[in-house]
Amino acid sequence: AQSVTQPDIHITVSEGASLELRCNYSYGATPYLFWYVQSPGQGLQLLLKYFSGDTLVQGIKGFEAEFKRSQSSFNLRKPSVHWSDAAEYFCAALRGAGSYQLTFGKGTKLSVIP
Amino acid sequence: DTGVSQDPRHKITKRGQNVTFRCDPISEHNRLYWYRQTLGQGPEFLTYFQNEAQLEKSRLLSDRFSAERPKGSFSTLEIQRTEQGDSAMYLCASSVTSGRGYEQFFGPGTRLTVL
């Protein structure tokens, strides 16, 4: 079955430290991949997306993600975390062209220590 | 671009009652999606519309659930005879149909609590 896995339920980092949130997918072919962020009481905001091409994609708020086909991974990174980055982060996938059902991971909650 | 809006933001109801939620997509977005998010989980797809046509429905969408998009603009999601297991955040999203049609923009959600 197609699935998206986020192995870390909760991560705590110090402000200014680097961040990496893990995401693995299980699909027959390379899906379209997304990272969303959800702050309390807010909807999901798209951080970045990968369809094809360059495996390192840049997003908003200083985030980037690297697609690694060999590891079926699409990990989210940020070199220096700010307190305002505390939120829940979701990795999501679409099966491919013509598919519109996003499949989400269970999310990783990020806490930032001042 | 005013974003996707949802109404109400919160709804508390008693088991067995019917509830209806509304979603207004970003103007000129032809596709509209409904997702459900329970505590500790990621959103799960329920259904989607292209204009007024409902094109896909998840098995999660039981017979008690019905969604409409009568004029291809706003959409409603109705839950009949609510059950405690229906307690969740109901999220609406919209997208265009061309080019960047795979990017879905989400609203703030309607949090349903069934007592």
Nearest 5°: the CA angle B10, B11, B17 is 170
Chain A interface includes B90 (CB < 8 A): no
Q: For position B100, what pLDDT does the model report?
A: 65
Instruction: Please write the tens of the pLDDT for every residue from A16-74.
Output: 999 999 999 998 888 899 999 999 878 899 999 998 888 999 999 999 999 999 999 99
Question: Between β-strands A32-38 and A87-94, what pairing exists: parallel, antiparallel or unpaired?
Answer: antiparallel
Question: Is B48 touching A (CB cutoff 8 A)?
Answer: yes
- Give percent above pLDDT 90 in chain B: 78
Q: Tell me the count of A-B CB pairs closer than 8 A.
A: 55
Give the angle A52-A54-A56 at the CA atoms, nearest 5°. 115
SS (H, E, C) chain A: CCEEECCCCEEEEECCCCEEECCEEECCCCCEEEEEEECCCCCEEEEEEECCCCCEEECHHHCEEEEEHHHCEEEEEECCCCHHHCEEEEEEEECCCCCCCCEECCCEEEEEEC
**How much is the pLDDT for A29?**
84
Q: Which residues contact B3 (CB under 8 A, 6 or more apart)?
A: B26, B105, B107
Residue range B58-74: average pLDDT? 91
pLDDT at residue A73, rounded to an integer? 96
Any idea which of A28-42, B17-31, B62-76, B77-91 has the lowest mean pLDDT?
Answer: A28-42
The whole-number pLDDT of residue B101 equals 65
Q: Which of A5-19, B47-61, B95-109 has the lowest average pLDDT?
A: B95-109
B90-99 pLDDT, tens digit per residue, is 999 999 877 6
* Preceding amide of B8 cis, omega within 30: yes
Most confident listed range (A25-29, A103-107, B100-104)? A103-107
Residues in A 41-80 with any Cβ partner in B closer than 8 A = 41-46, 49, 51
Q: Classify the phi-psi angles of B97: left when phi > 0, otherwise alpha if psi is within -120 to 50, otherwise beta.
A: alpha
Residue A75 — very low, low, confident or very high, per pLDDT cuts 50/70/90? very high
